[in-house]
Structure 1
Amino acid sequence: MGASATLLFAVPHAALSQPWPVLGGHLLSALAGVICAQTLGDTALAAGCTVGAAIAAMLVFRCIHPPGGATALTAVLGGSAIHDLGFHYIIMPVLVNTLALLLLAMFINFFFPWRRYPAAFNRPASPPSAPSSCTPGEPTHEEVIAALRSLDSFVDVTEEDLLRLLALLRPAPDVSTTGSS
């Protein structure tokens, strides 16, 4: 949970720090860890398999949260106190601690308008308008989504941030030619 806290308080607007990756990443990783700990006899094999399974689950459910790997490993390497919890490990301590951390991040970051958490709460007063499909040379919503998916890798940027970046990169209108003579 320490690595998650670092992400939530140091980079609250990163895609890896948003509620779904944090919650889904920890819960799926805990599930993978408990399953591997209970079904695989060899600790080294279970440790390797649980991290691989946790990563695969986070990729499938689009909730990449690297600290989830530690959550999965803890289920395997945590000793008898953790093993005795079985599937309850997913609820307590993982779910309870993750929810507490998310609520604390929302509360603390609320006092800083530039750091509102989650990122959806941190919208600028007047966001740039999304590119229109009728403006030549600018991507449509579908083109942006297709381009992000075609990269075949995880890109730590939201569509809104990418569109905002594109809007900022547009050349400003030349005021010297638009003024009256």
Structure 2
Amino acid sequence: MKRILGGGYLPHPPQAYEILRGILGGVTGITAISYLGMFSGVPWIIAPFGATCVLLFAAPQTPLAQPRNVIFGHLIAAFCGLLFINVLGNTPFFMAIAVGMAIAAMQILRVTHAPAGANPIIIFMANIHDWNFMITPVLVGSVTLVLVALIINNIRSTDKYPVYWRGTCPKKKEDLLKE
């Protein structure tokens, strides 16, 4: 019971600059993909991109907000949704399996991006079977948001985004102790 009661402390309140970065990033990112979609005549936006903006602009240093996680997480989750709806059909159980498999695939490939977990749900709820969904809105929209994040999150000279593009695994704890 003690484990579920929590404890600890709330994080420090954000600085004014961080709040402004969140506003500017969210407005710029969603405006960009919305208008680009309108001009192209093809939708560039899906609801999970709102949650992606929260990570990109309010928590840009976290692993879930790194470019590879954003782009590949969305692609993998959409792929799982499309694969399951096209191969197995549209049922709530297959939708749940698609979400679970998307989570597992993102974990295995080390590109976990929480908002992407909603992509299979969108695919099943809207009964999307077209593989072009992976290109637009998923790929085009996620790349656009990352490009906006590269600009907004590096406005100040002291900021650094992304933390990594590829990254490497740290040494194992045992190996560090031997050194």
Q: Does the alignment reach a TM-score above 0.5?
A: yes
Partner in structure 1 of residue 172 of structure 2: 146
More RCO (CA 8 Å, sep 6+): 2
1:110 aligns with 2:136: no
Instruction: Tell me the secondary structure at the aligned position of residue 110 of structure 1.
Output: coil
Cα offset, 1:115, TM superposition = 3.2
1:69 aligns with 2:128: no
- CA distance in 1 between partners of 2:120 and 2:157 (Å): 34
Per-residue CA distance 1:2-27 (angstroms, 9 max, x = gap): 11110000011111110111111100
Instruction: Tell me the secondary structure at the aligned position of residue 115 of structure 1.
Output: coil
Per-residue CA distance 1:124-151 (angstroms, 9 max, x = gap): xxxxxxxxxxxxxxxxxx9x52139xxx
**Contact conserved, 1:28 with 1:57, CA < 8 A, in 2?**
yes
Q: Residue type matched to 2:143 in 1?
A: L
- CA distance in 1 between partners of 2:116 and 2:149 (Å): 18
Cα offset, 1:119, TM superposition = 1.9
**Contact conserved, 2:66 with 2:164, CA < 8 A, in 1?**
no
Partner in structure 1 of residue 15 of structure 2: none
Q: Residue type matched to 1:31 in 2?
A: F
Cα offset, 1:42, TM superposition = 4.1
- CA distance in 2 between partners of 1:120 and 1:21 (Å): 10
Cα offset, 1:33, TM superposition = 0.5
- CA distance in 2 between partners of 1:47 and 1:120 (Å): 32
Greater Cα radius of gyration, structure 1 or 2:
1
1:38 aligns with 2:38: no
**Contact conserved, 1:18 with 1:118, CA < 8 A, in 2?**
yes
Q: Residue type matched to 2:85 in 1?
A: A
Partner in structure 1 of residue 21 of structure 2: none
**Contact conserved, 2:102 with 2:117, CA < 8 A, in 1?**
yes
Q: Choose which of 104, 119, 127 in structure 2 pairs with 1:56.
A: 104
Question: Structure 2: 5+ residue runs without aligned partners?
Answer: 1-48, 175-179
Using the size of structure 1 for normalisation, the TM-score is: 0.63
User: Number of aligned pairs?
Assistant: 125
Aligned Cα RMSD in Å? Answer: 2.4
Question: Structure 1: 5+ residue runs without aligned partners?
Answer: 122-141, 149-181
Cα offset, 1:120, TM superposition = 4.4
Per-residue CA distance 1:136-173 (angstroms, 9 max, x = gap): xxxxxx9x52139xxxxxxxxxxxxxxxxxxxxxxxxx
Instruction: Tell me the secondary structure at the aligned position of residue 113 of structure 2.
Output: coil
Query: Structure 1's 51 and 120: CA in aligned 2 closer, same or farther, altered over 3 A?
Result: closer
